Amino acid sequence: MRQLGTHLLLEMAGCKPEKLNNVEEVEHCLVQAAREAKATVLDCSFHKFSPQGVSGVVVIAESHISIHTWPEFGYAAVDVFTCGDRAMPKLAASYLIKVFAPKTYDLKELPRGIPGTLPLDADSQGVKWSPPGNHGWA
């Protein structure tokens, strides 16, 4: 695989339900997580469900940070996906663990990129690739 990004999957359980159900607070935490990761925030979209729950995404130049909450279970599922070599996704995850203070959590890291093995300078159609960070977008 030619790795182009890092995708963190964060499962948090035992969080305070009132925090997970507050759309303004959840948005603030995700935006601050992006800043902690040294990512560039471009846009945000958050939604408060009835009777409970919040879903949202912070779009960053490097990709995105998203969350889905189930306050009735004290549970939140978070994705932190960054491309390039500038942003530090683990700093975002560490910040979210700190502010949501779960009793338990699980953090998985997945490399994201082009599957298979390609020559160092071209794919099967002859498209040339350069290392992350040299594309002018991250």
Higher pLDDT residue, 135 or 73?
73
77, 29 Cβ separation under 8 angstroms: no
Long-range Cβ pairs for the range 38-43 (8 Å, 24+): 38/86, 38/87, 38/88, 38/91, 39/65, 39/82, 39/86, 39/87, 39/92
Q: Which of 15, 29, 64, 83 is catalytic?
A: 83
Domain boundaries, the chain: 2-114
Assigned CATH for 2-114? 3.60.90.10
> Catalytic residue among 7, 55, 68, 94, which?
68
Closest Cα to residue 4, out of 62, 57, 59? 62
Q: Is 45 a catalytic residue?
A: no
Nearest to 133 by CA among 87, 85, 88: 85
68 is catalytic: yes
Give the number of other Cβ atoms within 10 Å of residue 42's Cβ.
Answer: 12
Say if residue 138's pLDDT is above 50: no
111 by Cβ neighbours in 10 Å (0-12 / 13-18 / 19+) ranks as: exposed
Both tokens assigned to 102: 């779960």
- Give the tens place of pLDDT for each residue, 1-21: 889 999 999 999 999 999 999
What is this structure's pTM?
0.83
The pLDDT value given to residue 116: 82
| Residue whose token pair is 């601050």 | 32
Q: Which of 15, 29, 63, 64 is catalytic?
A: 63
pLDDT digits (tens, 9 = 90+) for 59-78: 999 999 999 999 999 999 99
The verdict on whether 63 is a catalytic residue reads yes
**CA dist., res. 88 & res. 18, Å (int):** 29
